[in-house]
Structure 1
Amino acid sequence: MAESPGLRHGPVVPQLESLLRELLREQRWKAGERLPSEVRLAEELGVGRSSVREAIRLLARDGLVDVRHGSGTFVTDLSTIPHEGPDVRQLLRRARLLEAYEVRRALEVEAARLAARRIRPEDVERLRASLRERQERVGGDPAAFVDADLDFHHAIVELSGNAVLVGLFDVVRPVLRAALIEMVTHEAALPDVSCAHAAVLEALERGDAEAAVAATADNLEGTMAFIRAEMADR
């Protein structure tokens, strides 16, 4: 790659994604050609390797590159990709995210009900520490915030004592993580559900299953309503 362009202040991942899209559009790498390694791209662009990985993941999700574990990342045959506008691609991503949230809501509501009956004082302390970490990351690095948020929810699902619910959460987590990072990075109007998180913890601490279910539903419905509204506006 030639001289690396400088990146502006602000979220790095969307800038990297935009830059790599432009380079693909300019056919810097041909169809079937392997991209430079994450390490090399990070060095040439002056960014962290994790940021490059997230940008590549977004490109792969849109079918622009093919990530082959153990072999590298390859440019797809761009002529075979449907000529959808970015709004259409985003709409499809939001539809998939809404479906994942519907599954998430069902499993987390039941997990909260079970966790309220089984939680111990030491579990409450661990949840409180996890929630504190989530709150400390609000407004910071999107990936770190989303990871902390999902860690809090995962801990509650684990407290349900139901291995099937834990397994289901682990299945949808990668989908949620990628989509939420994008939303946190790009969307300024995302609902603030911090109070709902605190309400979930308070209900669990009291052992109040009904309140835990209600708070969990309120928490997730806020984001689901945002996604539905976005889809309706397009």
Structure 2
Amino acid sequence: MAEASQPRRGRVVPQVEDALRAMFGEGRWRPGERLPSEVALAAELGVGRSSVREAVLLLAHDGLLDVRHGSGTYAAQEPRDAREARDVRQLLRRARLLEVYQVRRALEVEAARLAARRVRPEDLTRLTGDLKRRQKAAGAGPAAFVDADLAFHRTVVELSGNAVLLGLFAAVLPVLREELVEMVVHETGLPDLTCAHTALLDALADGDPDAAVAATVKNLESVMTHIAEEEQ
């Protein structure tokens, strides 16, 4: 089993929560099994006890943990009806995300086409920086990664020079961010789209609208296909 990654500087509690969720995903604790003490978890993750305590309370609120005062914290025994309710919520979330992605694809395809025709050297420098930050954020937790990813895509939309496209993208962004963070936290087998992002940057650098559209479609439809397959 892989060692738990230590949270980086920043919003510590969400990072501790992500680390604990990852441990659950790895099967570190069986249902009903007692977790290590707050002191032990804090030492393992390299954070303070208060951060661990807050993260534990968040996970208890989500039903993953059972905090028993005077006894300790245990991995929750999930009843069948709770599992079924969770599965229904997950199906609804995927359906909503697929609809959001359909809107996102329509906006970003046209934005990529327009951006390829008007991008400047200084714009490419900005995009390169956005892409590097996205790559660095891959190990910084779901929220940090999603924020870095969306920053890259927002820059592309801005470079389209179309204020209406940018306004529509900005309107969709809060819902998109929320759904993407949930997807990164809960979904497995998500495609690695680093190459598609690099291909988009290369297409913009070449001033090639068709290649920019192709890279954008590959990026977004890979995720849409994954969502649709998980619904079946």
- What's the RMSD between the two structures over aligned residues? 2.8
In the alignment, is residue 205 of structure 1 matched against residue 205 of structure 2? yes
Residue 46 of structure 1 is aligned with which of 32, 47, 51? 51
Q: Please give the residue correspondences for 1:20-169 in structure 2 after superposition, counting only pairs within 5 Å.
A: 46-47=51-52, 85-169=85-169
Letter aligned with residue 180 of structure 1: L
Question: Normalised by the size of structure 2, how large is the TM-score?
Answer: 0.67
1:216 maps to what in 2?
216
Secondary structure of the residue aligned to 2:199 is helix
Q: Is the 8 A contact 2:112 2:157 kept in 1?
A: yes
- What do residues 26-59 of structure 1 show as CA deviations (whole Å, max 9, x unaligned)? xxxxxxxxxxxxxxxxx9952598x79xx69x97
Work out the CA distance in 1 between the residues paired with 2:222 and 2:149: 15
Work out the CA distance in 2 between the residues paired with 1:48 and 1:169: 37
Shift of 1:173: 1.1
Which 5+ residue runs of structure 1 have no aligned equivalent?
A: 1-8, 17-42, 60-83
Distance 1:155 1:48, change over 3 A: farther
Work out the CA distance in 1 between the residues paired with 2:183 and 2:192: 13
Which 5+ residue runs of structure 2 have no aligned equivalent?
A: 6-14, 22-47, 63-83
Shift of 1:142: 1.1
The count of corresponding residues between Structure 1 and Structure 2 is 172
Work out the CA distance in 2 between the residues paired with 1:229 and 1:188: 12
Work out the CA distance in 2 between the residues paired with 1:149 and 1:94: 19
Work out the CA distance in 2 between the residues paired with 1:128 and 1:103: 25
- What do residues 212-231 of structure 1 show as CA deviations (whole Å, max 9, x unaligned)? 00110001011000100111
Work out the CA distance in 2 between the residues paired with 1:177 and 1:226: 18
Question: Normalised by the size of structure 1, how large is the TM-score?
Answer: 0.66
1:181 maps to what in 2?
181
Shift of 1:188: 3.1
- What do residues 45-90 of structure 1 show as CA deviations (whole Å, max 9, x unaligned)? 52598x79xx69x97xxxxxxxxxxxxxxxxxxxxxxxx7111111
Distance 1:204 1:100, change over 3 A: same
Between the aligned residues of both structures, percent identity stands at 60
